[in-house]
Amino acid sequence: MEEKAHKFGVRRIKMVLAYDGTGFSGWQYQPQVRTLQATLEEAMEKVVHHPLRVVAAGRTDTGVHALGQVVHFKTESHLSPEVLKRAFNALLPTSIRVRRVTEAPRSFHARFSAISRTYRYFISRHSLPFLHRYCWVIERRMDIERLTETLALFKGIHDFAAFGSPAKEGGTTIREVFRAEAKAFKGLVIITIEANSFLRRMVRHMVGAAVKVASGGSSLEEVKRAVEYPHGFRFPSPPAPPQGLFLWRVKYRPMLD
> pLDDT tens string for the chain (257 positions)?
333 344 445 899 999 999 999 999 999 999 899 999 999 999 999 999 999 999 999 999 999 999 999 999 999 999 999 999 999 999 999 999 999 999 999 999 999 999 999 999 999 998 888 889 999 999 888 999 999 999 999 999 999 999 998 878 878 999 999 999 999 988 899 999 999 999 999 999 999 999 999 999 989 999 999 999 888 766 667 899 999 999 999 999 886 66
Entry pTM: 0.92
Specify whether the CB–CB gap between 120 and 134 falls below 8 A. Answer: no
Q: How far is CA 56 from CA 32, 40, 68, 112, 248, in A?
A: 21, 11, 11, 10, 14
User: Which residue out of 61, 143, 159, 257 is catalytically annotated?
Assistant: 61
Question: How would you classify the pairing of strands 55-56 and 65-75?
Answer: antiparallel
| 3-state per-residue secondary structure call for the chain | CHHHHHHCCCEEEEEEEEECCCCCCCCCCCCCCCCHHHHHHHHHHHHHCCCCCCEECCCCCCCCEEEEEEEEEEECCCCCHHHHHHHHHHHCCCCEEEEEEEEECCCCCCCCCCCEEEEEEEEECCCCCCCCCCCEECCCCCCHHHHHHHHHCCCEEEECCCCCECCCCCCCCEEEEEEEEEEEECCEEEEEEEECCCCECHHHHHHHHHHHHHCCCCCHHHHHHHHHCHHHCCCCCCCCCHHHEEEEEEECCCCCC
Cα gap 192→248, rounded to integer Å: 9
Q: What is the pLDDT of residue 237?
A: 76
Q: What is the pLDDT of residue 205?
A: 95
Among this protein's residues, is 61 annotated catalytic? Answer: yes
Q: What is the pLDDT of residue 169?
A: 80
Question: How would you classify the pairing of strands 65-75 and 11-19?
Answer: antiparallel
Q: How far is CA 247 from CA 1, 37, 175, in A?
A: 37, 15, 17
Q: How far is CA 17 from CA 27, 72, 92, 186, in A?
A: 12, 11, 12, 27
Cα gap 90→93, rounded to integer Å: 8
Domains 2-104 and 116-251 share a fold: yes
Q: What dotted CATH number matches 116-251? A: 3.30.70.660
- In CATH, the architecture of 2-104 is 2-Layer Sandwich (3.30)
Question: How would you classify the pairing of strands 96-104 and 11-19?
Answer: antiparallel
Sorted by where each begins, the domain ranges of the chain are: 2-104, 116-251
